[in-house]
Amino acid sequence: MMAFNLAFRNLLGAGLRTWLNVIVLSFSFVIIIWTKGLLQGWDRQARHDMIKWEIGGGQYWHASYDPYDPFTLSDSHGAIPEGLAAIASDTSIVPVLIAQGTIFPAGRMQSVLIKGIPPEQKILALPTEKLVSADNDIPAIIGSSMAENTRLGEGDYVTLRWRDRNGTFDATEIRIAGLFETTVPTVDVGQVWIPLEKLREMMLLPGEATVLIAGELTGEVSVTDEWVFKDHKTLLADIEQIIKAKGSMGVIIWGILLLLAMLAVFDTQVFSIFRRQKEIGTYVALGMTRGEVVKLFTIEGAMNSVLAAAVGAIYGIPLLTLQAVNGISIPVKSSDYGLAMAEKLYPVYSIGLIAGTVLIVMLVTTIVSYWPSRKIARLNPTEALRGRMQ
Amino acid sequence: MGSGKFTALNGIDLTFGKGEFTGIIGPSGSGKTTLLNIIGTLDVPSEGSALILGQSVANLTPASSAALRKSKLGFIFQSYNLFQVHTVFENVEFPLLLQGIETAKRRQMVLDALEWVGLTDKIKSRPAQLSGGESQRVAIARAMVKRPAVVLADEPTANLDAANSHNILQTMEKLNRELQTTFLFATHDEKVISYVRRKIFLFDGKVARDEIIDKN
C-alpha cells in the first residue's frame, strides 16, 4: 500500500508530463472500447435483422441447394417431408421455392432470383400480405434497393421470364404490389418475391420448395437425406466472418494508438530513471531495497493507466452513452458493404468489453513500465546518490 | 584515463562509540565519502572487514542491509536529496512509512522531528519553496525522525552560508547530546570541524591523525 501511495504522489507530482501520458492513454481506452462496441453493435444488429428478415429460427435446405451456385437451383427443390408438411400447414414452417429468372424493366434485362413464399406467413418480416391478390395477376414485392436499381415502383408492371422444370422458357407480367425497407441485402438486391403457389404453378413444381424456414424451434430437428437443417450458427457464419474481417481495421487503429501510448509511457520511464538517479539513491539510502524501488517505479508507470481509465471515464462515458442511445449514422448504403447494416448503428458496450479493455491496457502498461525499471536493480546506489549517469 | 585499480581506503582501523560527534576530515579524494558509504552499508570493502552495530557489512544481504539502513542509520547529504514532489511533512514521514509505523504515531513523530529543527510552520511547503538552510534542516529531521543509532552526514554544510551552517550544526549537536545519537561527518569545512569532538584526518585513504577534543 505504501508503494501505491508513494507512486501516486510521485505521479501527480510530475505534473504535465503525467497528464500528457494519461490523456494519450485515455484516448486509447475510449477508442478501443468505441471501435469494439461499434463492431459488437453491428454484429448484434446484423444478427437480429438477418434472423428477422431471412433466417427465422433456422432453415431446412434441400440437399442440392447452394446459395452461392445458381446452377444448382434447377435441381434443388423437393416435396416437403411429411413430418414437416404438417407443421408447414399451420405456418410454423415457411416453405420458399427459389428459381432463376429475368426481368425487363424499362427495356433493360436483369437477372433475378424469384422467390415464392406463402402470403400468410408470419415468421419473416417481409410484407407478404401484399402478395394476396383477388385479381388474376401476379403480385410481387421487392426491396427498396431493388426498386432503386430497376426504377420500379409500387403498381408498376414488369415482364418476368423463367424456365420451368422442363427447361421451357415462359414469360408473364408481374405487378409490383409493394416495396419494403430492409437492412438485409440478401432479401432485397436482385430478389423478386411472389406467392409460393404461383411460382409452383409457373415452375410446374406443385408442393415443392427449396428452403423451409422454421419459426422458433421447440422440438427435435427433423432431418432426412434430402433436407439438411442449418442452424443460426451456420447461417450467420458468413456475416460474422465479414464483421471480423472489417474489424481487423479497427484492431490496427487501436493497436497503433496503444503503441503510441505505450511509447509515451516507456519514454517517460526511461527518462525518469535517468533523471531521478539521486532520488533512487536516496530511496536505497533510506532503507528501500533495489527491488522495492523497481516495484515503485513499475507501479508509478502502471498507474498512468489507472489515471487514464479515470480520465477516459470522465469524457468517454457520456460520449459513448450518447452514441449507444442515439446511434451512429452510417453515411454509406448497406448494400455497398454486402451485408446487413442499418443506416444507424447502435454500439453495444458490455461490462466484459470495458473490463477486458481496461485490464489489457493496464497489463500492457505495467509490462512497459517494468521493462525500463529493471535497470534500477543494476544501479550502484553510491553513484546514484551523486546523480551520476550509469 | 587509466585501467588500474584505485584504492580509496587503505589500512584503516577505526572504532566509533555511541553518542560520538565525529568529523572525518580530509581533502577531496581522501576517502571520506567511501568510508561513510561503507559505514552506511551502501558500499562493501573489497578487502578487510567492517562491523556496523555488530553486523559485518560483507555478510549483509541486500535485504538485511536495507533493513539496517531503514531502522538504525540516518543520512544527511550535501545537496539535501529531498523528494521534490513531496511536502516537508511527507519528506520527514518517508522513513517511518518504510517502517510501517501506524498513522497517528507517525504523525506525532514527524511533528516532534520538525520541532527539533524548528520547521513546524513549514509542514505543507515543498522543497522548492525552502531556503538551503531550511532544506538541510528538513534533511536532518528526516534522518532523525526514526531515532537512528548513527547519522552519517556527507558535507552537510557545503551548500550553506555561515549563518545557516552554524544553525544546523547547533541543531545536530543538540540532538546528539539529547538523544545520544552518533554523528559522523565527512567534511573539510572549518565550521563543522569546530563543532566535532573527535577529528579523524584522512589523507590518500589512510588515517593521518585521530584526535579527541575535550570540549568540557
ipTM above threshold 0.90: yes
CATH value at residue B181: 3.40.50.300
pLDDT of residue A173: 94
Rg (CA), chain A: 31
- Domain encompassing residue A92: 58-215
Inside any domain, residue A365 = yes
Contact B81 A13 (CB under 8 A): no
Contact B63 A13 (CB under 8 A): no
User: Do A190 and A306 share a structural domain?
Assistant: no
Confidence of residue A334 (pLDDT cuts 50, 70, 90): low
Structural domain total, chain B: 1
Q: Which of A303, A385, A386, A388 to mutate to test the interface with B (most CBs of B within 10 A)?
A: A385
User: Do A211 and A75 share a structural domain?
Assistant: yes
Asked if residue A270 lies in contact with residue A48, where contact means CB atoms within 8 angstroms, the answer is no
Q: Which of B6, B38, B92, B94 to mutate to test the interface with A (most CBs of A within 10 A)?
A: B94
More confident residue, A38 or A179: A179
pLDDT of residue A219: 55
Inside any domain, residue A294 = yes
Inside any domain, residue B163 = yes
Contact B83 A5 (CB under 8 A): no
User: Do A73 and A168 share a structural domain?
Assistant: yes
pLDDT of residue A218: 54
User: Do A358 and A243 share a structural domain?
Assistant: yes
pLDDT of residue A223: 65
> Of B70, B77, B100, which is closest to A385 when you measure between CB atoms?
B77
Angle ∠(B148,B152,B153) on CA atoms, nearest 5: 130
User: Do A254 and A207 share a structural domain?
Assistant: no
pLDDT of residue A275: 85
Inside any domain, residue A232 = no
Inside any domain, residue A226 = no
Inside any domain, residue A378 = yes
Asked if residue A80 lies in contact with residue A68, where contact means CB atoms within 8 angstroms, the answer is no
Could you say which residues from 282 to 321 on chain A have a Cβ atom under 8 Å away from some Cβ of chain B?
282, 284-292
Q: Which of B38, B46, B60, B77 to mutate to test the interface with A (most CBs of A within 10 A)?
A: B77
Inside any domain, residue A155 = yes
Inside any domain, residue A129 = yes
Closest chain B residue to the Cα of A286, Cα to Cα: B70
User: Do A108 and A19 share a structural domain?
Assistant: no
Give the mean model confidence (pLDDT) for residues A260-273: 83
Closest chain A residue to the Cα of B85, Cα to Cα: A13
- Domain encompassing residue B172: 21-212
The Cα B63–Cα B185 span in angstroms is 26
The Cα A111–Cα A196 span in angstroms is 19
Contact B81 A381 (CB under 8 A): no
DSSP character string of A168-235: -EEEEEEEEEEEE--S-GGGTTTEEEEEHHHHHHHHT-TTEESEEEE-S--SPPP--SSEEEE-HHHH
The Cα A225–Cα A1 span in angstroms is 67
Contact A287 B69 (CB under 8 A): yes
Structural domain total, chain A: 2
Contact A385 B42 (CB under 8 A): yes
The Cα B101–Cα B119 span in angstroms is 22
Beta strands in chain B (DSSP E): 21-25, 51-52, 55-56, 73-76, 150-154, 182-187, 198-203, 206-212
The string of pLDDT tens digits covering residues A361-383 is 899 889 988 988 888 878 888 88
Q: What single letter denotes the amino acid at residue B140?
A: I
The string of pLDDT tens digits covering residues A279-319 is 999 999 999 998 999 999 999 989 988 999 999 999 999 99
User: Do A192 and A267 share a structural domain?
Assistant: no
User: Do A344 and A204 share a structural domain?
Assistant: no
Inside any domain, residue B57 = yes
> Of A2, A291, A381, which is closest to B42 when you measure between CB atoms?
A381
Inside any domain, residue B7 = no
User: Do A354 and A270 share a structural domain?
Assistant: yes
Contact A281 B85 (CB under 8 A): no
Task: List CB contacts of A390: < 8 A, sequence separation 6 or more.
Answer: A277, A378, A379, A380, A383, A384
Inside any domain, residue B116 = yes
User: Do A197 and A95 share a structural domain?
Assistant: yes
User: Do A242 and A205 share a structural domain?
Assistant: no
More confident residue, A155 or A42: A155
Inside any domain, residue A362 = yes
Per residue of chain B (216 residues), give pLDDT as tens.
445 677 878 888 999 999 999 999 999 889 999 999 999 999 988 888 899 999 998 889 999 999 999 999 999 999 999 999 899 999 999 999 999 999 999 999 999 999 999 999 999 999 999 999 999 999 999 999 999 999 999 999 988 899 989 998 999 999 999 999 999 999 999 999 999 999 999 999 899 999 988 766
User: Do A358 and A242 share a structural domain?
Assistant: yes
DSSP character string of A84-132: HHHHHHTTSEEEEEEEEEEE-GGG--EEEEEEEE-TT--SS-S-GGGG-
Give the mean model confidence (pLDDT) for residues A268-275: 83
